Structures are given as structure tokens and as C-alpha cells.
Structure 1
């Protein structure tokens, strides 16, 4: 779906205007006035690439589009978490994901369809930007042009990869042979190309990896300042996302190859290549202002001038006080909160979860986000801890993998938060893998990984809201293609 229903002659002005919304940071500056500067509201396309400032404004606009509260700024992460077994719903509020929680959402669900529409809007903005950059080759120095193109391709890859996981069957179910989604790589400025067949899942993954390879080649090693290194894509950002993509595909050798670019062979596993990355002594600091530790490989930033928007914010869903506690931890049964593997001695439980009485019922909830209005915590997309867990899993899963290294990486994650914890003997790759997957549930809780981690293993969805274990073959397992796309693209179900 192209979501463009306005006069074509005005379209490019509108898109360029959207690009000019400022992001929290720029490559060269973190000044506060960048947050509040008024964007130009109209700009002829021919002038959009006449100077570096205008080109940078367009790059910033790509990040702004992606971090919409309807996508990566909130709901994408939330909905992936509430679909499984980790949470119970308190409010039965359809506006805040109750149908997704129950597994009853349909193709007309506005909030799910927003993933598709905002994702494709961002993808089309990237396509427009890349074409404009190519058509105006002399506007920037070559290195800076490659930098900006790399950022755009990283954003496009992140969008396609995130969408394909929730709107199509898991890659590992059939090596990507099933229906994926329309692959749009050229700018759409009219309705002429609405009817576009879906590519296969495998074709979408191939494009994601192509974009990330090209992004890695064009992006800089890093930027000046921790804020830019956290909120703009650099080489390590592209590498880390590639490692995640290969893990989801079940290509453990390639996941390890990419992960090894960032993770040394032995403890203390501190990366010094390009942009430095390391686990922080306390996970609490990663989720506290200014949100720019070396563990934060990529996050979407927010400020009081651009909060994620009403009922999109992660802290609103999972918090009390200013939050509404839409969802609390599942304190019994299969939820990770009650699992003996997550004891109270773990700082991730003692400091990053809380409990409160609401209406006479005790609820427990995550505190990674501040739960304080206007909910402007940075939203973490890639952390170094995840990369360590990717490498640990790849070592455990690949033939001839280094199980000692895998176990050492697992211990590094756990002992950061619970130094006395002992996993016991994990003598086989199967036992090690089970411990790693459970550690992911603890370490990455409330960061939007649960559904995607189940899907990549082609595992049933243990939906607490639906009261059922939903198999991959069940239509409820993946989100339906939105009715808005079905109405405008007669070919979307063909591939």
C-alpha cells in the first residue's frame, strides 16, 4: 500500500516537508536548538539537495518517521511482547492492544495496520531520498553521501525486517518460500504501481541483508559524541542488525561471523573496533538518562517536544503512577517473572521490576522505562547484551561450536545482574541453548523480542490472552495483511 491519495504535484513537497522534521541529534551537533527549530513547511524537490544542511534534515526525517509511536517508538515492541505468555491484561482496552493480546485482531485493526502503513511510508521516504541523493551526486562530498545513503539503507532494512517477521510465516518454517510482502525499492509518487505482487519471505530477507551489507560499507566507524553514536547508524549498528537477521534465519555460521566482528573471543568481551561497546556494570544505567552508554548500540531518542504520543508509550502500558498499567507480568504459570531461573537476587528483578496494588490486586510490572509522563525514555532497538547472546546461541547451535565460549558469554550476561547465580552443568548444546533462550527472556523482557524469538524457532505461540497454544499453521500466528492494503493492492496475496 502506498498511502498516497493527494495530488501528485504536491506530493513531493509534502514528503520533503516530512523529512525536515528534526531528530534529537545531528551528526555534528547535539545542541538543544535542534530540538525546537521550526522545519521548513514546503520546499521544491529541486532545492532539497542544494546544500548539506538540507540533505541532513532529510536524513533526520527518516529517523523521525521510523520512530513513530505507531511503530518503533512504542507499539511494535509492546505488541510483540503481549502476544505471548509474559503478561496479563488489566484494562480490556481495545485501544491498547487487547485484541492482539487475545489473538482476535482482524485485518481492519487500525493499530496493527499502522505497522504496515507507517513502515511502508518510511520505506518510501527512504526510496525517495536515495533517488534524490543519486540524482544530485555533486551535492555532497563522496564520504558524506555514502554515510547518508548507509543510514537510509539501515532504516529501510530495519523496517522490512521488522515487518516481515510479523506479517508473514517465519523464515525457518520453509526457508522463506512462503508469501512475504511487496518489495518496493523505487519511489512511489502516484497510484500507478499499487497492484504489486508480494515477494517471497526469502526475497525480503535477501534485500534486508543487501541493504545492511551496503550500509556497513558506507557508514562511518562512529560519530563525535555518545548521543550520535547511540541514535545514528554507524558500521557496528549495521553489523549488529545483520547478526540478528542471520540468527532469525537460522544461519548460525553467518550470525557468528557478524557477531565476531563485535565480540572478542574471550572475556571480558569488550569491543574496541570502530565504536566501543561493552556491558555496563549495572543494567540500570542503560535505562537511565542520558541513555547513551556504550551498551546502547542503537536507540530511538525522544524529548518533551516529541514524545511517542498518547497510548503509544511503553512506560504508559507497563507502569503505574503516570502510567496506566495496561499489562502486568504473568505472576503464575509459564510467565518468566515467576520462573525460578529469575530469582529476587537478580538486579533485573529487584531494581527493574516493581509491584503495586491496583484496585486491591497486586500487579508486578517492568521498570526499564520510567513510567513517568510524558514518557520520553529512549527506546532501545539494539543492545550489546543482545549481541553477546546472539554469539552465545550461534556457538551453541553451529556444528563444532565453542560451547565453552558460549557458556562464558551466558555467564557474563547473568553475572552482571546476579553474580552468585550458578547455571549448573550445561554439558550439551541442547542444555546450553535452553539456558540461553531463557536468559533472553529475562535480559530482553519488555524490549519487544518475545514473539519474534518464538517465531524464529517455529515454536507455538503460548498466548496467555487467548488461553491457547497457537501453532504456526494457525492464521492467528501472524498478523493479517491490513484491509487498507487489500483494498488498494489486488496482487498482495500473490507471489
Structure 2
């Protein structure tokens, strides 16, 4: 298998539908050899690595919009309007996330189309590459529909986003109406089902196993998708493919094993390619793979910091205020007496912390929640306990925290807040459960709560898309 070789990328965030394959080669020649075809696959991952997407900003935006962090910096460039729940359709950040996602989607569509007729790679390689393109497309559509459309549980028949499944290689093809939210989710699942079928179990190195999509990656993302859709039977069916029936919960296939790391800290202090990493965005030792300072997670959480832990957020939970829980060691107090998150701790440039997109801990907690929703409290509590005991081996949940369905689900949701703090998961959890986004305090003031019925519960459709797509209907 060809190793990932990320090529330098000049952002096209102002072009909402980039139609040019990203190599230095003309389009007619860009897919003419096996090496050039591999370069186009690498480009898909490079787009995920973009600083406006999973390279940093997208995760920071989700944390700024949720309730775990206060805002230190009032400048627009630092996302103050995002934190204040006051972004408009002309906001650069609103436009940039949309643009990067659709650029990746179109690049995926072009690659899939070329692979259907190519003779420069074997059928087996073509199948692998198509599956990777489908995974990237699914991840991008999930990000789009969660950011710019109402939650699935609120109105699955409401307006989603434009569903672009055919390649666009020339200007003038922007007009496309929004598909329903349900249709978008069906496409996401279809892409992930096909990706699971055609992706390999593993690659030739630990780096490739975390930075490229493989079977378990597609399965893991499906547990997230089905949890958002509240299809708990399907969450369980998918999770069982990569979670053993009893502790220690793990999955082994070929050369890979997925399980919780024995130490929570190593996930964020160098074990970027360990057994818990199902899919991560890598930043190798190369200047071409270094995110811009203000977009990197370490800069936002530690180096500046732009956002600090809110006093009324999960940072006050006892688990994060005891030396018995390893997760508490990744919280520190800065010179301004503010609590900061040190998961991403390469605090001086270049900022090359790997970004975890899917961890095995998420699969376990997705599985546990689905089991709890289906009233299998014993399994749910056992899996939950495995996650907690990884960080605090002696901890025992109080009986009243796990003995009823309602109590256990509340405990599971709280554990997700602790476990995934700063990883961009909190907003998704609030929205999929149709919960109010709470008010929060920061150095720049107080951000208001946001009701599920409020227009700013989701982001507006970007002005750039509205201006170029005559069939686009803005969010009310």
C-alpha cells in the first residue's frame, strides 16, 4: 500500500466548489499513473487536515459553541462571535468550514468517478481508494449536516444540505437544492456501509492504520451516526463488530488491536498511533503539515490561550479535581489563575499534536448508551465502568448513579463530557439530545443560552453559497 504523502495545500476557502484536482499536474494528467492516483487519495486526507476543518478550527468552533469553555480573546479572528453565539452568514468561519467540506466532497466524487474507469491501478487498489473516498465524503457530510441543519431528532424531514454525488470539474454547476436531513444521513450510512465492505482490515504501519480509513474506522463512525439518529439497535449491531462481549473490551483483526490505552495520558503525550486511535489527523515533522498558530488546538487551549475551562462547566466535576483520575492531570492552572486543558500540549510553534477524530473510548460509550437506551443496564454499566476505571482503577460508581435507566444515561452523558473534553464532542451531544446550549462566562463577558428553537442553535447557510447557488434556501 502506498504511504501517505501530504502535498502542500493553498486554501481555496473562498471558492465554495473547488473543481481542480490538487497536484501540480493538469487535470487530464492528474490520474494517469498509479503514483498520481495515490496523490489524489492523499489530497482527500490533506483536506481533512485543513486548519479550518479537523486540523483545528472545526473542533475549536464546536467547543466555543458549547458550554465547557470561556473565551479570553474578544477579537473576531479568535472566534469571539462563535463563542457569543452570534455568527452571521457572512462570517469567514461559517463560510470556511462549508467550503473545505464541499471541496473534499467534490474531490472524493472526482476520484470515485476516475477510479470507475481507470486501468492504471489494480481492481483491488481501486476498490480500496474508492472506499477511502466514500469514508471522507461521509465524514464531511456528517460535519455539514450537524453544523448547518437542524438536529436529526428534531426534524429529520427538514432541510439538510445540497447532496453532491457527481463530480463538478468546470464552473457553472453550483445550483443544487438542499436535500432533506434524512436523505443526507441515508447517504452517509450508505457510504460507510460500502467503505466497511471494501476497506482493508489494516495497513502496513501503525501510522497508516490511524491516518487512513480502514474497516474498523468506518464501523466506528457508524456508531456515531446511528447514535445521532437515535437508532440504538443499529449502534449496538455496529459496536458488536469491534467490541468484545466481555471485558477487557477490545477488537483484534490481522495486525491491529483496538482497546483502551492502559494510561489515559499517553493518548495525548506521544502515543498517537496506539491501540485506542481509530482515526486521527496526523501532523508529521514537516513544515508543510504545521497548522497556522491561531488554528491549532494547542495554541487555542494552552499557548495563548484563546479559550479556558469554564468555571461552571465539567471542569468542576470531582473526577477532574482529584489525583486519583488520570484525566485530571491534563488540566492545569495558568498564571492568570484560569484552568486550561493540556490534552494538546505542544504549546510553542510548530503545533503538531495529532488530532483524534475517533477513539475507541467513543465506540465503547456509544455502545453503552445504546445498551442503556435499550434497558440493558448491566452491560451499559459494565462498559461505562471500563472507561472510568482506565483513568481511575479504584473508582466505583454510586449505586444511585447507575441503578435506573434515567440515572445511568445521565451518568453516561457526564462521562462523555469528562472523557472527550476539548475534542469537539460536547456540542454534538447537546444537539442530538435536543438540549439547550447553556449560558457560559468568560473574560469577554457572558454568552447567552441558546434554545433548541432558536435560529442560532445551528449555523446559518454561508453567504458565499447563497450568492452562487440560486436554489439554496437559507436557514430561517
TM-score (norm 1): 0.88
Structure 1 residues 492 and 237: alpha-carbon distance in aligned structure 2, compared to 1, 3 A threshold: same
Query: What is the CA-CA distance between 1:346 and the residue it aligns to?
Result: 4.3
Indicate which of 245, 266, 272 corresponds to 1:285: 266
Indicate which of 267, 270, 276 corresponds to 2:257: 276
- 2:323 and 2:329 in contact (8 A); partners too: no
Q: Does 1:202 align with 2:160?
A: no
Partner of 2:342: 367
Determine the C-alpha separation between the residues in 1 that align with 2:13 and 2:340: 38
Q: Which digits, 9 at most, give the CA deviation of each residue in 1:248-281, with x for residues without a partner?
A: 1100100111011111111000211353101111
Query: What is the CA-CA distance between 1:5 and the residue it aligns to?
Result: 9.1
Q: Which digits, 9 at most, give the CA deviation of each residue in 1:414-443, with x for residues without a partner?
A: 111112222111211111111110000000
Partner of 1:134: 116
Determine the C-alpha separation between the residues in 1 that align with 2:462 and 2:170: 20
Partner of 2:5: none
Partner of 1:314: 297
Q: Does 1:108 align with 2:90?
A: yes
TM-score (norm 2): 0.92
Indicate which of 466, 469, 472 corresponds to 2:449: 469
- 1:197 and 1:494 in contact (8 A); partners too: no
Which shifted more, 268-277 or 81-90?
Answer: 268-277
- What does residue range 89-238 of structure 1 map to in structure 2 within 5 Å? 89-136=71-118, 138-174=119-155, 176-238=156-218
Q: Which digits, 9 at most, give the CA deviation of each residue in 1:100-151, with x for residues without a partner?
A: 1001111111012100011101111111111111132x22211111111111
Give the SS at the match of 2:105.
helix
Give the SS at the match of 1:447.
coil
Q: Does 1:356 align with 2:334?
A: yes
Give the SS at the match of 2:167.
coil
Query: What is the CA-CA distance between 1:85 and the residue it aligns to?
Result: 1.7
Partner of 1:445: 421
- What does residue range 394-405 of structure 1 map to in structure 2 within 5 Å? 394-398=370-374, 401-405=375-379
Which shifted more, 483-492 or 189-198?
Answer: 189-198
Give the SS at the match of 1:171.
coil
Which shifted more, 138-147 or 47-56?
Answer: 47-56
Determine the C-alpha separation between the residues in 1 that align with 2:83 and 2:31: 45
Query: What is the CA-CA distance between 1:494 and the residue it aligns to?
Result: 7.8
Give the SS at the match of 2:398.
coil
- 1:2 and 1:188 in contact (8 A); partners too: no
Determine the C-alpha separation between the residues in 2 that align with 1:427 and 1:263: 23
- 2:90 and 2:462 in contact (8 A); partners too: yes
Give the SS at the match of 1:255.
helix
Structure 1 residues 494 and 441: alpha-carbon distance in aligned structure 2, compared to 1, 3 A threshold: closer
Partner of 1:27: none
Determine the C-alpha separation between the residues in 2 that align with 1:252 and 1:349: 28
Q: Which digits, 9 at most, give the CA deviation of each residue in 1:227-264, with x for residues without a partner?
A: 11010000000000011000011001001110111111
Indicate which of 216, 233, 241 corresponds to 1:261: 241
Which shifted more, 372-381 or 230-239?
Answer: 372-381
- Which runs of structure 1 show a deviation greater than 6 angstroms over 4 or more consecutive aligned residues? none
Q: Which digits, 9 at most, give the CA deviation of each residue in 1:172-215, with x for residues without a partner?
A: 112x1111010011111233322211001111101100110111
Query: What is the CA-CA distance between 1:310 and the residue it aligns to?
Result: 3.0
Determine the C-alpha separation between the residues in 1 that align with 2:16 and 2:378: 57
Indicate which of 33, 39, 42 corresponds to 1:60: 42
Indicate which of 67, 72, 76 corresponds to 1:85: 67
Number of matched pairs = 454
Give the SS at the match of 1:88.
strand
Determine the C-alpha separation between the residues in 2 that align with 1:231 and 1:148: 14
Structure 1 residues 199 and 69: alpha-carbon distance in aligned structure 2, compared to 1, 3 A threshold: same
Give the SS at the match of 1:410.
helix
- 2:264 and 2:327 in contact (8 A); partners too: no
Q: Does 1:454 align with 2:452?
A: no
Give the SS at the match of 1:422.
coil
Partner of 1:384: 360
